[in-house]
Every structure is written in C-alpha cells, then in structure tokens.
C-alpha cells in the first residue's frame, strides 16, 4: 500500500514537472519565433476589411502575405510574413498568437525604416515634412523611387452598387541627396542630371530600347546604376 502511494506520488510529480518543462519550452519557442517584442508588436490591430462584392483589393499585388524582412529602429527582422496595403499606406505583419490564431497588425510608422517583399525593396522616407513608403531601385548613390497607390471607385457596371479598386499606379522619382525629383518621361528624367551626362544617358536609352512606362524593375535599376557611375 505504501509502495503504491509512493509510486503514485512520484508519477504525479514527474507528470507535473514534465508539464512545466513542456509549457516553458512552448513559451520559450513562441518567444523565440514571435519575439513578444514591442519593437514588432507596437502597432495597432489591422481592421480595414471591405464587404464582399468589392472588386480587387487594397494591396500592392494580392491579399496573400509573403515571407519578407524589415528593419525597425535599426533592428533587422527576418522570416516574418508581410503585406503592403498601398491604399492606406500601411505595412502589415501577420503572425500566429499563443492560441494559433492568425493576427494582423500595422507596423509602427514611427519605428519602421525599411522592408522587403520578395525581390522588391522599400523604405519609409521623409521629404518636405511628409513621410511615405517608397519602393527603392538602385545601389546608390542615386536611386529611383516609386510611390504606389490605388483608388476605390463605384463600379461602372450598370446597376452595380459595389466598389472596386483601381489597378496599382505609381509616381516615379529620382532620389538625389535627400531630394525627390518627379519624372514621367525620358526628357524629364535627364533634366535632373548634369547636362554633360545627357548624351550618355540618351545613348543608354537607345541601346537598351527602354520604354519608361513598361520598363521592369531590373531595367530601371540598371539604368540608375549606370547614371550613378557616370563621372
């Protein structure tokens, strides 16, 4: 009888101890993965959800979150799932809480410095007392910046009372010494630079057959890197 009681007490202790260790490991793993870090979880809960029937979405590409990275207050964070709401100009972070439920928060603009979504790189830049997210092309010292946006309009379909998002649109800038110079054509782009470089830039456009409205990111990256290396 006494032996059975002792064995029962030992088994109960081991189960309790094992449960404590398991719980500690679970929360330690959660802490390592999600950080429970106010740097990451300083934003407010994302609540911009539209009624069914709305055409398109408010995001740069799709509503799916993709693995990316960001720099917030000088700290680089990788292996996180992000999306960019260009309609509201918000970077969104998706994570699973301690219950396993997915949550979405808006990353704090006060601390955000830069982020990436796949091959696309972005920075939070302040210019003339206005802060905004820009896609950044180029390795420096010169950069091309894209400011992305969407509009929400009533559908053009007869009798349709639903709203639809426009396709993503961008405004192009040359970023030089902290200043933004908008451009829409080859001519307005070349005006930003030293007139002595105009023949070389014009010849580069001709050789590469660049059409600004349709030029992919890599083409524009190569262009601004070429201009950055002109003497």
Share above pLDDT 70 across residues of the chain, in percent, rounded to a whole number? 79
pLDDT tens-digit map of 149-165: 999 988 766 556 688 99
Which pLDDT score, from 0 to 100, does residue 160 have?
60
Of 56, 15, 33, residue with least CA distance to 162: 56
Indicate if the pLDDT at residue 183 is higher than 90: yes
Between CA 17 and CA 14 the distance in angstroms is: 5
Instruction: For residue 115, give every residue at least 6 positions away whose Cβ sits within 8 Å of its Cβ, in sequence order, or none.
Output: 68, 69, 70, 71, 82, 91, 107, 121, 122
How confident is the prediction for the chain on average, in pLDDT? 83
143, 133 contact by CB (below 8 A)? no
Cis peptide bond upstream of 215, omega within 30: no
- Planar angle of CA 226, 148, 162, nearest 5 degrees: 155
Taking residue 43's Cβ as centre, other Cβ atoms within 10 Å add up to 19
pLDDT in tens, 69-113: 999 989 999 999 999 999 999 999 998 877 888 889 999 888 899
Tokens of 71: 């720099």
Indicate the pTM of the whole model.
Answer: 0.80
Asked if 42 and 108 count as a contact pair (C-beta separation under 8 A), the reply is yes
Q: What is the mean pLDDT of residues 19-37?
A: 41
Strand partners, 171: 147
Q: Where are the domains of the chain?
A: 1-34
* DSSP line for 16-60: HHHHHHHHHHHHHHHHHHHTT-TTTS-SPBP---PPTT-BS-SBS
């Amino acid at each position: 009888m006494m032996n059975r009681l002792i064995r029962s007490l030992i088994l109960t202790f081991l189960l309790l101890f094992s449960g404590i260790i398991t719980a500690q490991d679970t929360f330690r793993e959660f802490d390592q993965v999600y950080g429970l870090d106010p740097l990451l979880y300083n934003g407010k809960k994302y609540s911009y959800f539209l009624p069914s029937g709305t055409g398109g979405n408010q995001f740069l590409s799709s509503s799916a979150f993709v693995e990316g990275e960001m720099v917030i207050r000088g700290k680089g964070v990788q292996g996180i799932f992000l999306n960019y709401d260009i309609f509201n100009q918000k970077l969104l972070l998706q994570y699973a809480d301690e219950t396993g439920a997915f949550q979405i928060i808006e990353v704090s603009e006060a601390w955000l410095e830069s982020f990436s979504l796949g091959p696309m790189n972005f920075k939070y830049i302040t210019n003339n007392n206005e802060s905004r997210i820009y896609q950044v092309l180029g390795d420096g010292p010169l950069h091309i910046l894209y400011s992305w946006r969407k509009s929400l309009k009533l559908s053009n379909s007869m009798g349709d009372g639903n709203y639809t998002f426009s396709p993503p649109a961008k405004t192009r800038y040359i970023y030089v010494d902290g200043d933004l110079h908008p451009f829409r054509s080859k001519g307005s782009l070349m005006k930003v630079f030293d007139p002595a470089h105009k023949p070389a830039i014009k010849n580069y456009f001709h050789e590469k057959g660049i059409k600004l409205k349709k030029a992919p990111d890599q083409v524009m990256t190569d262009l601004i890197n070429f201009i950055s290396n002109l003497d």
